[in-house]
Chain A
Amino acid sequence: MGLTIAAENLRQVFNRQTIFSKVSFTVGEGTVLLIAGRNGSGKSTLVKILCGVLTPTGGKVTIDGDGALDQFARKARVGLVAPYLQVYEEFSALENLHLSMTLRGFRSDPSAHRALLERVALDPKRRDPVRGFSSGMKQRLKYAMALSHHPPILVLDEPMSNLDADGTAIVRSIMEDQRKAGILVVATNDLTDCDRWDTEVNLNEQR
């Protein structure tokens, strides 16, 4: 059957204001889901619901097809890159990757981490805290952290923020790989971020 994400009648109310309602979609393996909408339309809220860090006011999200039965498997399904997802600033890049594995209950593999850092154009030999990184470097580290556990679902909120041309190229290749290997979800208000998509959820129309 393959991996699927199914959202049914999602509704989110926040301080008595309805952000969106009746959001439904189904996406399957090997596809790209685009979440579009103006700033403030609730894209990030929907992203958080999909990643399991926010409980929707109404409706539900079902992720199926990968045999995930326990909490750890559920946490391991998703990788997220978002402006509001912070890295651990007091630790180095390698330590951050180590944490992204061990906090999920996996054994940590330092050589795999180093390879991953190289892929996102970060120096694997650096031991200084991430606090000193530029915003572009932190963004690339977030990609490394999202990929460290090989999640079948990769969710990107504002994928190109803080990135220069080189960074953007890296991300596009990551996005292409992910589309082939699982499900890619992109939330953005800049449609040039995403080359192609299969399903679109436009939150401007949802109110």
Chain B
Amino acid sequence: MMLRGTLGVLLTLVIVAAFVTPISPQPQSWFEFPLIPGLEEKARIIFFHVPAAWLSVLAFLTSMFFGIQYLRKRDIMDDIRSSSAAGLGLLFCILATVTGAIWAKFNWGSFWNWDPRETSIFVLLLIYGAYFSLRSAIDVEEKRATLSSVYSIIAAVTVPFFIFIMPRIMTGLHPGAKGDPDGAGPVIEFKMSPNMRVVFFASLIAFTLLFIWMFTLRVRTARLEYHHQSKG
């Protein structure tokens, strides 16, 4: 109850602030955002794109955590939690990829460029896709839980390699990466004024709360379904 209320208020504030606050080159009052060269109005997407990407990673870590718990305790509820988190992760990963592509089109002219961050979110999308393909190919519940947990661990183990590979292979377009033409970086945080940072972190928190709320809801529904099926 409390969570929903707080979440509702917070999200509304964030969305309003993100869209309504005017952007001007010389911010006069606390109510204005500075103009970041290279981004201008498009900067508003930061409040949604980055949290969505953050959530897709958080969801993956959550999914993997419950996957490991399943392997240890063999409690099917852990598998339900794992796949619920992964489902949300897939949703937000798609959102992050799409918002990112839209931004890329407006900023750099094409929807996809294979810059490191774009490639990373794409790989995460592939991993989610593989995870659900695997799940749909196994009929036996216990085996499905075990194998998808194992796969997510293997996938997680290969992801850190990208951190080392990316800088060597490609230069990036993203604000904050090497090779960014207008130098709109390093990352958002340092070019944002304090008031922008407030809205940004508020958005991050709001999205995280959103994730927790949706996750709890999904797990509760799945648990009810499970008990209903076990009796019948």
Q: Which A residues contact B (CB, under 8 angstroms)? A: 14-16, 57
Contacts and interface: CB of A to CB of B under 8 A. Distances in A.
Minimum-distance CB pairs A-B, first 8: A16-B230, A15-B141, A16-B229, A15-B140, A16-B141, A57-B74, A14-B140, A16-B226
11 contacts: A14-B140, A14-B142, A15-B139, A15-B140, A15-B141, A16-B141, A16-B226, A16-B229, A16-B230, A57-B74, A57-B142
A1 B115 CA distance: 69
Interface residues of B, number: 8
B149 to A, nearest CB: 15
A10 to B, nearest CB: 14
A54 to B, nearest CB: 10
Contacts of B229: 16
Interface string B43-71: 00000000000000000000000000000
Find the residue from A14, A16, A57 having the highest chain B CB count within 10 A. A16
Given A15-B141, A16-B141, A57-B74, 7 more contacts: A14-B140, A14-B142, A15-B139, A16-B226, A16-B229, A16-B230, A57-B142
Contacts of B226: 16
Nearest to B139: A15
Interface in B204-232: 226, 229-230
Nearest to B141: A15
Contacts of B139: 15
Nearest to B74: A57
A140 to B, nearest CB: 33
A57 B141 CA distance: 12
B129 to A, nearest CB: 25
Contacts of A57: 74, 142
A15 to B, nearest CB: 5
Contacts of B230: 16
Interface string B117-147: 0000000000000000000000111100000
Contacts of B141: 15-16
Contacts of A15: 139-141
Nearest to A15: B141
Nearest to B226: A16
A57 to B, nearest CB: 7
Nearest to B231: A16
A44 to B, nearest CB: 16
Nearest to B146: A55
A15 B76 CA distance: 11
